[in-house]
Structure 1
Amino acid sequence: MVQYLGIGIGAGLVSALLFGVLLKATPLAIVLYLLAPLPILIVGLGWSHKAALAAAVTGSLALALAVSPFLGLGFSAYLALPAWWLAYLALLGRPRTDGSLEWYPTGRLLGWTAATAALAFVAIAVIASPSYDAFQTQLRAMSASIVQIQTRGSPSGGAKPDMAQPQGESPTESATGGQASPQPNEVADALARIAPALATQGLAVLLTLYLWAAARIVQISGRLPRPWPDLPATMMPRAVLGLLAASVLLGFAPGYAGVLGMALAGSLSAAFALQGLCAFHDRSRGRVGRGALLFGLYLILFVTQGIALFALTLFGIADTALGLRRPHASAGKP
């Protein structure tokens, strides 16, 4: 127990150092910051979830005392506690009648990863802006800056109105046949509305990659207690579909409840996209030219800059809803 705590304290200090270098605001600092959750996940998977909890507490206290209480609290809510929680879930198991262990299913773990990303985003939002109005003001300001940059970079961004244009008709109306195009303020407001979903999409994918990388490292070292799971067979339970529908409805609620709904909808859509990717790997097993199919899929994802993820999300939702990969009750019977 003392050894686990010592390893956890060391991992927490390393994780806090990787997180704290972000204050340098250099490219190398950003890369190191992205590695911050790995030490906590590694000790959690390789030693004990108690070691991971010790790492999370140690790193948070170190940042709070050495830099600022706000930074320590942000590190705890956004990275440290989510890393500990996922390591804890990954090593859950219950004994079977034959004496072996039934490990926590990867589908449920993927669902929890999405939920953890949403909760972490809302937690850091509340910590940064306890006032919802202040939070919305910050989101609108960032969204307006993005829209302004995109407008300046567009070919028509600096176009001047045509002097020969009919009186009373705006430039946007004449360019669209009498229908006004969305104004920058409207676009910024819409972007601010969906910003939590966009943020948690990326965070859910990152947390999944962190968990996979940490598990691989621990497996190579020979300390991973559970056998390596069949990742292509990953499938979230149908209850997650109800959670997705509820999150979309909650997204229309006022205040931080609406932020939670949007954040959860975004993270769950990312989780279903990852499941769609797993289903594609699973269904292509044993097929001729499987390598070319997978290469083509990843090439499309790269070229379209993530637009194809929408199709994967629909594929993942259909995979859970229809359950075509689930063994039927009559399997094995004549």
Structure 2
Amino acid sequence: MNLREFSKVLGLSPTTVSRALGGYSEVKEETRRRVHDAAIAHGYRPNRRAAALATGRAMAIGHVIPTAFNHEMVNPVFADFIAGAGDVYAKAGYDMLLSVVSDGDEERAYRQMASAGSVDGLIVHGPRTGDPRIALLQTTGLPFVVHGRAPVEPKDYSYVDIDNMRAFKRATDLLLDLGHRRIGFLNGIETMDFARRRRDGMTSALTARAVELDPELMASSEMTELSGHSGALSMLALPDPPTAFLVSSLIMAIGVRRAIEDRGLRMGRDVSVVIHDDMLSYLANGVEVPIFTATRSSVRAAGRRCAEILLDRIGDDTPPPVQETWECELVLGASTGPAPT
């Protein structure tokens, strides 16, 4: 059954049916639900080329990844975000255009996508300090949503982020309440906005408790198992080693746990660890009892929400910016305990 035939069954125009399946806001919710239910009942799957002709849209969403961040392509955090966003795209009849470009070539890629009309909107990944992409995209007219935030002006852009600063302040306060005063911090690359906010959260908690900030207990690097292992091993070899670690990802924390065991210590008894958990599908933080005490927020849910906001913006000519900052849950696991005497 093609679009025209399916439209006749419903007594609607092909354009209305395409827009209803695409989730456009100008189509009444009652009509969208009716078309969606009929599509399931008749086993109808929209032909994207036909939908593009009917709506004047490309029926595709762009994701631009510079080669400097090629590691993101195999990063389970990125994969879970894409899985969440892709689920929303598929239900709305959209394809995903993933473009890997040379370093410094993002501007050309964005302008080309806008001028060629190859995508209807974009998701911006990994906002960073002084990020030029937001101002650039505002000049192209392409709808976009940022996963995270960037400290840029003006701030009138749509984003979905977690409250990184509050999450890591709470995590640090937990360790301080347990009596830890030597806390190692293994963070992501601090030109990235999320990492900067996490550092600010930790340092603000230490400052509020008049705990000295030791530069030897601070490390910033790509969030890999190897960097977590080497960073923790170096700190544990100090004359006055940390009794706890605050770690920016579950992937790094696996390396931290290995380093603790390499030193003949036991995580949760001799050295405590608190992490951030993105609730990854294929790298779970335990099943019934969390392995690591963690600040927790689903990156897959963030992918879904970014996609929903973007599709709504595509279907609305003058939408106000949508700005969501999610609170993180703090869950207790087996990795934390009182500071050793």
Same fold (TM over 0.5): no
With the length of structure 1 as denominator, give the TM-score of the two structures: 0.24
With the length of structure 2 as denominator, give the TM-score of the two structures: 0.24
More relative contact order, 1 or 2 (CA 8 Å, 6+ apart): 2
**In proportion to residue count, which structure has more strand?**
2
